[in-house]
Structure 1
Amino acid sequence: MSSNTYHPGHVRREKGERLGPGDPDAGVLAESDRERGGYTGPGFVNDVFGEEQGHDIKYKTLTWPMVALLMITEIVSNGMLSLPSSLAAVGIVPAVVVIFFLGAFATYTAWALIQFKLRHPEVHNMGDAGMIMFGPIGREILAGGTIIFAVCATGSQMLAGQLALTVLSDTKLCALAFTGIFAAATVMVSFPRTLGNLGWLSVAGGISIIVAGIVAMAGAGASPIAPGDIAITISTDFTSAFISITNPVFAYAGHFMFFILISEMQRPRDAMKAAWALQIVATTFYIVFAVVTYWYVGSGVSSPSLLSLEPLWAKISFGLAIPNFLIAGALYSHTAAKLVFVRIFRHSRHIHSHTFTGWGMWTFLILLANVAAFVLAVGIPSFNYLVGITASLFAAWYTYGLAGMFWLHDTYHFKGGARAWVKRPLMLVVNVLTILAGAFICVGGLYATIKALQMASEAGLLPSPFQC
């Protein structure tokens, strides 16, 4: 871990003091500010977007309830629909325990990421965090991973939208055409430059998936397939069990966007309120939806679970979920474009002004992210497995493992070196285990996904590229 952010020998600053570009401690807030929670905000010179008064384009407009809705729209999406099949694979008790534990775990790692962001207001994305932690190589790896995962997640949402349109139309059009239609809509929704302009759409997106889940549960209860055909626990092989575990793991995989979201908040210190709202809603809804659906549909529940419903209920549920698939996909592609855009134009007039260069580059990046997602989704027969591989490689670290590294880094550099770790033995153990958990999920997820891909290939189950 690099130590270029803070040294004990730095001059102590008065609370609230702003640092100029020529100051040897530029980018470092007073220790007393940190202790009192006054870490970051638009008034600090090294904040990502800085002071925005008088600018044409203002980014720091999000309130914490709006950030919570954006988080819910992004995370509580089509990944939720795989959870009932996880219960069917390993049994209701272990699956529910895993979902609850991962929800609590994700709440802690959200807190760790938020604390890191508040101490480092210049951090806009995981790449910036990688620069602080590991230097230029870390920056490129984490930034590249964010872009890859965001693009793959956009493609996954496009395929979810394609499936919804196919079910609603009784396969009246080629699946490729439906994916193209959904991709074009995603481009338009992801085009606004600021997350504030996407915020109100997230209201529709968040409500959409919650209502779709409620209707799906009602449909499962109204037309049950095998009610009560459930198992408390099920013995299975490692690959099947781990894939079932990774479903809830990656249903919480939205932390890679947190830095970007917090950077556009009016009051970054309120970010944990949004994280609490997200995790309470997500964990509660995941457990209720998975248990109710599994109970009424039984051990043969499909993934996504809406395909197990009676045709009418499936159409209603898919139709209600479409706004969420669309807006979540737009958020992912927006994230990929925003990371590159801010890196190119940070501290330039193109960030805050309506310039031809700024809008030209933004248009290019949005189109590039969505076109890449579309081509990958329809052109790679093993795309769903590719999403699993990228999630194992990156989301496992962004959501879990890196949080432990953030705590170790900042505790060392802001609290007194290795001695600060020794004085906090419980937190030290928790964060070391957090890093090990990220590594375990990464390696286990890679193994299970690649093994499943190999089995699907040998069985001839992979579709042709650009299949209609």
Structure 2
Amino acid sequence: MASTMVDTYEPEKVHSKVLDAEAQDWDNDGNTYVINALVQDDHGHEIKLRTMSWQRAAWLLAGDQVCLAIMAQSWSLSVLGWVPGLITMVVAGVLFYITSITMHKFIIKHPQILNICDFGYYAFGKSKIAYEFTAVMLLLNNIMLIGFHILTGAKVLNTLSDHSMCTVIFSVIVTIMGIIMSLPRTLNHVSFMSMFSAACMGMAILLFLVFAGIEDSPLYGYGGSYPELGPVKTYAFPPEGTTWVAAMNAVLNITFLWVPQILFPTFISEMERPQDFPKALAVLTGISAFFFVVPPAIGFRYLGQYSTAPAFGSLGPIAYKKASFAFVIVPTLVIGVIYANVSAKLVYGRIMGKSRHAHSNTVLGWSVWVAVIAAIWFIGFIFAEVIPSMGDFLSLLGAAFDSFFGFIFFAVAYWQLYKGALFQGVSRSVMTVVHIFVMACGLFLLGPGLYAAVEAIIADYAESVKPAFSCANVAI
């Protein structure tokens, strides 16, 4: 175990063909040498990980980002109004692109980085504490998200079947399907699933927009059923009576959607040419800019104050709900698979170390991989069943974890990249100021954002809560 820990804490020493990346100040040629050595070393193994093209990486990114959370953004607009809501969306998108580019530059400087834990290790000065802290946050974040997707899958099956079985049984079905789909070891294989995932979510969104436009009126909102809240209307600013907690949770809902970077280092580490990641990122940014703004805006236009999260719940006719929500089952499973793969690789690497089983088709290697995948999905299943309000807990995750993985980590990485030359030239000075703002955003989410998320959970617990392992109908 001791040797494994050394490999974990000093990733540049994992591959004997790689020169000590800290021994010299790498220029582009030096970085290319290290990357080529890493790819060559990986391709000498029976199970090859570094095989993704940038096109495959783009599909993987799209499969992760084109998700059900898009359908919660109309609700965010209904809380914040057009002006604060759209400003938050645009600012979050711009910061997402800038911080992702910073992350990529830092990884190219340290090509031996395999995951966000390694990223934290180098960003915070080769700190073992930072590595372990990041590992705990990675596992908590990803497994909780797997639990959320198990619950979402159960909601889909409840909705389609008119609650034909106990919800726990539906959750078990989703968990078993997730385990089976998570068995492929490489993200290159998972990227195939991501193509269908993004397409299915796109179809669900398209059908929702059509149905929202042609129905006579929405069914209900959180404040009451139509027309109890009056005719459908939209507004530029938060309506009177909007609380700080509600507004902050709406902001967290938007930032949560724009902050997937916790997975990106693992994605980059499995690209055959990590240098091409910005191409995949550009594709993702274009897709996200459209899906994260246009459908929510149209949804808010037709649902107004009756918007729910997800917005499918506001549709009137049951047939409309079923026809659009049915397509969500595919992205629900595939996104869970992506989070499971990244989590399992961290745990599996700690268990197997540098042994031949780690990268060969051995009985022991595959047995451990299957056991780790099953354990991750099982823990996610437990979370899905025992936490009364997964939505509020995801706001808690967004405040506690996304503040680091979407903002603070990359502000620190930027400082590591350019310390001593932060204000060298106009463009560098501008980017330095931007990253100071990035740090401020991260600290804001970690402070007031975390407070708002906790207050929302306390409010939920003050009312009746869903009992653990409940058979209650959770259909939208």
Normalised by the size of structure 2, how large is the TM-score?
Answer: 0.87
Contact 1:401 1:434 in 2 (8 A): yes
AA partner of residue 230 (structure 1): T
Question: 1:380 Cα shift?
Answer: 2.2
Are residues 1:76 and 2:66 paired?
Answer: yes
Residue in structure 2 matched with residue 66 of structure 1 by the alignment: 56
Residue in structure 2 matched with residue 139 of structure 1 by the alignment: 131
Once the two structures are overlaid, the 10-residue window that deviates more, 354-363 or 319-328, is 354-363
Work out which of the residue numbers 27, 44, 61 in structure 1 matches 2:21: 27
Q: What are the Cα deviations for residues 33-56 of structure 1, in whole angstroms up to 9, with x where unaligned?
A: 33x695476523xx4x65233422
Work out which of the residue numbers 43, 62, 71 in structure 1 matches 2:36: 43
Residue in structure 2 matched with residue 428 of structure 1 by the alignment: 432
AA partner of residue 99 (structure 2): T
Q: 1:22 to 1:214 in 2, by over 3 A?
A: closer
AA partner of residue 467 (structure 1): S
Question: 1:347 Cα shift?
Answer: 3.5
Work out which of the residue numbers 327, 339, 348 in structure 2 matches 1:332: 339
Q: What are the Cα deviations for residues 348-379 of structure 1, in whole angstroms up to 9, with x where unaligned?
A: 32222112222122111101110000001112
Are residues 1:374 and 2:377 paired?
Answer: no
Residue in structure 2 matched with residue 92 of structure 1 by the alignment: 82
Question: 1:87 Cα shift?
Answer: 0.8
Contact 1:66 1:199 in 2 (8 A): yes
Once the two structures are overlaid, the 10-residue window that deviates more, 57-66 or 390-399, is 390-399
Question: 1:295 Cα shift?
Answer: 1.1
Are residues 1:200 and 2:212 paired?
Answer: no
Contact 2:249 2:395 in 1 (8 A): no
AA partner of residue 453 (structure 2): T
Residue in structure 2 matched with residue 457 of structure 1 by the alignment: 461
Q: Work out the CA distance in 2 between the residues paired with 1:446 and 1:371.
A: 27
Once the two structures are overlaid, the 10-residue window that deviates more, 325-334 or 71-80, is 71-80
Q: What are the Cα deviations for residues 212-247 of structure 1, in whole angstroms up to 9, with x where unaligned?
A: 111110111111426851112124221111101111
Contact 1:41 1:267 in 2 (8 A): no
SS at match of 1:124: coil
Residue in structure 2 matched with residue 12 of structure 1 by the alignment: none
Work out which of the residue numbers 303, 312, 319 in structure 2 matches 1:312: 319
SS at match of 1:52: helix
Question: 1:20 Cα shift?
Answer: 8.7
**1:25-424 matched pairs, under 5 angstroms:** 26-28=20-22, 31=25, 33-34=27-28, 38-39=31-32, 42-44=35-37, 47=38, 51-134=41-124, 135-225=127-217, 229-235=233-239, 236-309=242-315, 310-412=317-419, 418=420, 420-423=421-424, 424=428
SS at match of 2:271: coil
Normalised by the size of structure 1, how large is the TM-score?
Answer: 0.89
SS at match of 1:230: coil
What's the % identity of the aligned pairs? Answer: 26
Aligned residues: 439
AA partner of residue 168 (structure 2): L
AA partner of residue 404 (structure 2): W
Q: Work out the CA distance in 1 between the residues paired with 2:83 and 2:109.
A: 40
Once the two structures are overlaid, the 10-residue window that deviates more, 78-87 or 375-384, is 375-384
Q: Work out the CA distance in 1 between the residues paired with 2:269 and 2:256.
A: 24
Once the two structures are overlaid, the 10-residue window that deviates more, 356-365 or 244-253, is 356-365
Moved over 6 A (4+): none
Q: Work out the CA distance in 2 between the residues paired with 1:32 and 1:384.
A: 44
Residue in structure 2 matched with residue 439 of structure 1 by the alignment: 443
Once the two structures are overlaid, the 10-residue window that deviates more, 205-214 or 232-241, is 232-241
AA partner of residue 256 (structure 2): F
Q: Work out the CA distance in 1 between the residues paired with 2:292 and 2:438.
A: 22
Q: 1:224 to 1:441 in 2, by over 3 A?
A: farther
Contact 2:116 2:265 in 1 (8 A): yes
Contact 1:40 1:119 in 2 (8 A): no
Q: What are the Cα deviations for residues 398-456 of structure 1, in whole angstroms up to 9, with x where unaligned?
A: 122211111101223xxxxx2x1242432222222211211111222211111011112
AA partner of residue 362 (structure 1): W
Question: 1:94 Cα shift?
Answer: 1.6
Q: 1:217 to 1:41 in 2, by over 3 A?
A: farther
